[in-house]
A and B are shown apart, each in its own frame.
Chain A
Amino acid sequence: MKKFKSFLIAGTAAALLTSGNPALANCPTKGVKEMTGAGATFPYPLYSKMFDEYNKICGVKVNYQSIGSGGGIRQLQQQTVEFGGSDGIMNEKQKQQAKGGNVMHIPTVAGAVVVIYNLPGAEKTQLKFTPDVLADIYLKKIKTWGDARIKALNPSAKLPTQDIAVVHRSDGSGTTFIFTSYLSKVSSEWKDRVGNATSVNWPGDIGGKGNEGVANSVKQIPGAIGYVELAYAEQNKIAYAQLRNKAGKYVQPSLESAAKAADVANLPDHMEVMVTDSSNPDAYPITGFTWLLVYENQTDLAKADAVAQLAWWMIHDGQKFATPLGYAPLQGVAVKKAEALIKKIKVGGKSVLN
């Protein structure tokens, strides 16, 4: 017990040092020992690591069920969980169905989605794509690797004449949400014909279940193209493409270039924004946040305090677990805006963190 206490003190001290705000401790002070959340599967590996560490530091057990963003939103609407997790932004109708009033979207980390391919005879080549070429491949308008538009972008690559087999996720996922958000922003035809959701009406060809399903189909089918999470591609040593961003620069996908996507001046205060196709000149464009969903006005002071403290810890100390697990940490302006949102969590009109 003594050991635990000293550990607790050490943890709190470290937390205070790094957050730079001595007025705010990181552990719940009102006696809450257990919390429940549910939602997105995309950040689950990171959240389970974070919650495990949080339990060691504060002795608060956080149960997070990775049942998907849809399920997380439904459970938050019904107030059966203290917080939800989502890779997408709730729409107006979903917000109206929330029983506890206004729902806030607090970003925790960003994730990047990379384009992978299988070119027989040119396995090591790193391809370059422009947004319009990528959109037209997924719209099935560019049908072969021999297409002049692909050649023009990759003059030195030894491209086969093969047909392109387009692979997508067959299960609803945050990865698809980020990817289709990007395509909708860069191609008006994509926006009109297909649109942006966790699962869409794909023009073609094959659906794979999960990152592993997509990656494996791409690996086995010569001429295939697909999209997976950056972390998955890196762990499995799959070659991925460079993309031209909004500023006209070809960017190598990495956690650094992904983190840049959210480091722009014009982020809205509510943070309900897809940062895909970012205007930051160094940003990799297929990048999106994942959010905690929390009610702004709460009734139970102890629970509200626990959620606020947890969220605060996640956007500060918890961020150090992001990079090793393949997520891009929040940066600069995004952290400040997230802090402001957490401070808005209120009980009886009074912010729980002040």
Chain B
Amino acid sequence: MKPELQAVSQSSLGSISAALDWLLPRQPGSVRLGDRFFHLLVRMCSVFIIMLALLLVGDLFRGSWEAIEYFGLGFLVGTTWDPVTQEFGSLPPAVGTLIKSTIALIIAVPISIGSAVFIAFYIPRGWRTLVSYPIELLAGIPSIIFGLWGLFIMVPVIRTIQVWLKANFGWIPFLDGPAVYGVGVLAGGMMLAIMITPIITAISRDILLTVPRTQVEALLALGATKWEAIWKVVLPYARTGLIGAVILGLGRSIGETMAVTMVGGNNFDLPHTLFDPIHSMASMIASEFAEATYSLYVSSLIYMGLVLFGITLIISLLAQLLIWRLSKGEFAILD
């Protein structure tokens, strides 16, 4: 390289370095230019994501402002949705979303974690992929396919179950529907359970596989059974990760739109029994947005989106709190 060129490149390097100094103050451990550049790059990535979230919240507020001004917080407890008289409230679909997601978790969590334990600890290493593959395949199926399958295949089966439940256990208050439709709270919950099981299973399996084998082997050496080793060491060791997996599943079930729309029954009333047809928030927004013909209507739908966002935020904060408390306990055990 010619000396003058070298000087130029050095000075340009110097100016880049100066720019980096301005953008990103020098920190211990990041002395080399490439290292600092990488630091800046990943920082930009995370700033980008945070900006995206802030923009989204800002836009939700902007879009729903007309409805916020008009209905105030009463929207959250309103039980009427009447585009004709321009009266809107979001309580029934919020309740619908939460009930269906709860049912989904009750069904999906034991099955998912059970099958993850089986895959991680009970089958030979070579067979693991063979069993895991279909689960990952399930996780990738688009929700409209699940929805159509649910509508045509699952709902008639659920109707039969409901008829039987009503005939034999109708004396239990929430099992006594006024009529048996098939579609409704139970069908929606089952649909979501089927959709989130593969996700929770796949993530739980990966987390269980990171539990050091030595932990299990040590316990087995001490005379514990395999069940005891898994129940007393593996699951507590992995619990923060498992909670994370469940939260991801919950997130999908709360935001799920198409499949619940197909099987949920979509009636705008608070449910009294497991059989009642009920709307959920995401499906309502998707169903009505296209034909929302005046601005307060559109604004109310966006307000509902904001409420949904709020619910998701509260749930993930609670999950963080839970993980934080558990992991404090965990460190105590590890010490």
A220 and B179: CB pair below 8 A?
A: no
- CB of A164, distance to nearest CB on chain B (Å): 9
Complex interface bits, B281-322 against A, C-beta within 8 A gives 1, otherwise 0: 001000111111110011000000000000000000000000
Determine the distance from Cα of A41 to Cα of B288 in the docked complex, in whole angstroms.
Answer: 13
- Number of A positions contacting B (CB below 8 A): 38
CB distance from A65 to the nearest CB of B (A): 10
- B85, B182, B261: which contacts A209 (Cβ < 8 A)? B261
Q: Determine which of A199, A200, A213, A221 lies in contact with B262 in the assembled complex, contact meaning CB atoms within 8 Å.
A: A213
B217 at the interface (CB under 8 A from A): no
Contact, CB under 8 Å: B81 / A201: yes
Distance of A163 Cα from B181 Cα, bound (Å)? 11
Identify the stretch in B2-10, B64-72, B265-273 within 8 Å (CB) of chain A at 4 or more residues. Answer: B265-273
Cross-chain pair count, CB within 8 angstroms: 113
Contacts of A94 in B (CB 8 A): 293-294
B interface footprint on A60-80 (CB within 8 Å = 1, 0 otherwise): 000000011111010000000
Chain A: CB-nearest residue to B80: A201
Please report which residues of chain B, range 154-184, place their CB below 8 angstroms from some CB of chain A when the two chains form the complex: 155-156, 159, 178-184
Q: Interface digits, A195-216 against B, CB 8 Å rule (1 contact, 0 not)?
A: 1111111101111110001001
B105 nearest CB across to chain A (Å): 24
Complex Cα–Cα for A197 and B288 (A): 12
Report the minimal beta-carbon distance from A197 to chain B, rounded to whole angstroms: 5
A208: nearest residue on chain B (CB-CB)?
B266
B294 contacts across to A, CB distance below 8 A = 70, 91, 93-94
Complex: A163 Cα to B82 Cα, angstroms: 26
- Give the segment of A165-173, A267-275, A290-298 that binds chain B: A165-173
Partner of B267, one of A67, A200, A205, A220: A205
Shortest distance from the beta carbon of B165 to any chain A beta carbon, whole Å = 16
- Bound-complex Cα distance A91 to B83 (A): 14
Using A209-B262, A213-B262, A220-B182 as known contacts, say yes or no to A195 and B293 having CB atoms under 8 A apart.
no
Q: Which of A73, A173, A197, A220 contacts B83 (CB 8 A)?
A: A197
Question: Does the CB pair B155–A220 fall under 8 Å?
Answer: yes
Per-residue A-contact encoding for B82-100, CB less than 8 Å = 1, 0 else: 1111000000000000000
Are A216 and B84 closer than 8 Å at their CB atoms? no
A201 near B268: Cβ-Cβ < 8 Å: yes
B249 on the interface (CB 8 Å rule)? no
- Alpha-carbon separation in the docked complex, A207 to B151 (Å): 13
Please measure, in the bound complex, the distance between the C-alpha atom of A68 and the C-alpha atom of B292, giving whole angstroms. 8
Of the candidates B80, B85, B156, B291, the one having the most CB atoms from chain A within 10 angstroms of its own CB is B291
A194 at interface, CB cutoff 8 A: yes
The residue that B298 contacts in the complex, of A70, A165, A220, A221, with Cβ under 8 A, is A70
Closest to B265 in A: A206
**What is the chain A residue whose CB lies nearest that of B148?**
A212
Q: Determine if B277 and A206 form an interchain contact, defined as CB atoms under 8 angstroms apart.
A: yes
Q: Which residues of A contact B184 (CB under 8 A)?
A: 206
Contact present for A170 and B279 (CB under 8 Å): yes
User: Cβ of A69 and Cβ of B293 under 8 Å apart?
Assistant: yes
Residue in B84, B287, B298 whose beta carbon sits within 8 Å of that of A200 in the complex: B84
Q: Is B152 an interface residue (CB 8 A)?
A: yes
CA distance A194 to B84 in the complex (A): 7
Q: How many residues of B contact A (CB 8 A)?
A: 37
Is A329 on the interface with B (CB-CB < 8 A)? no
B82 touches A201 (CB 8 A): yes
Which single residue of chain A is at the shortest CB-CB distance from B292? Answer: A70
Q: Are A221 and B181 in contact (CB under 8 A)?
A: yes
Q: Are A198 and B267 in contact (CB under 8 A)?
A: no
Chain B contacts for A195, CB-based, 8 A: 82, 84-85
Contact with A along B236-275 (1 / 0, CB 8 A): 0000000000000000000000000110011110000000
Are the CB atoms of B277 and A41 closer together than 8 Å? Answer: no
CB distance from B84 to the nearest CB of A (A): 3
Partner of A70, one of B265, B266, B287, B291: B291
Cα A157 to Cα B293 with chains together (Å): 42
B293: chain A residues at CB < 8 Å are 69-70, 73, 88, 94, 197-198
What are 28 A-B contacts with C-beta separation under 8 Å?
A67-B290, A68-B289, A68-B291, A70-B292, A70-B298, A165-B179, A170-B266, A171-B287, A171-B291, A172-B287, A172-B291, A196-B84, A197-B84, A198-B291, A198-B293, A201-B82, A201-B83, A201-B85, A201-B268, A205-B277, A207-B267, A209-B287, A213-B262, A216-B151, A220-B155, A220-B182, A221-B159, A221-B182
A: residues with CB less than 8 A from B are 41, 67-71, 73, 88, 91, 93-94, 163, 165, 170-174, 194-202, 204-209, 213, 216-217, 220-221
Instruction: Kindly list the 5 A-B residue pairs having the minimum CB-CB distance in the complex, ordered from nearest.
Output: A172-B291, A68-B290, A207-B266, A195-B84, A170-B266
- Beyond A201-B81, A205-B179, 8 extra complex contacts between A and B, CB < 8 Å: A69-B293, A70-B298, A94-B293, A94-B294, A170-B266, A170-B283, A201-B84, A207-B279
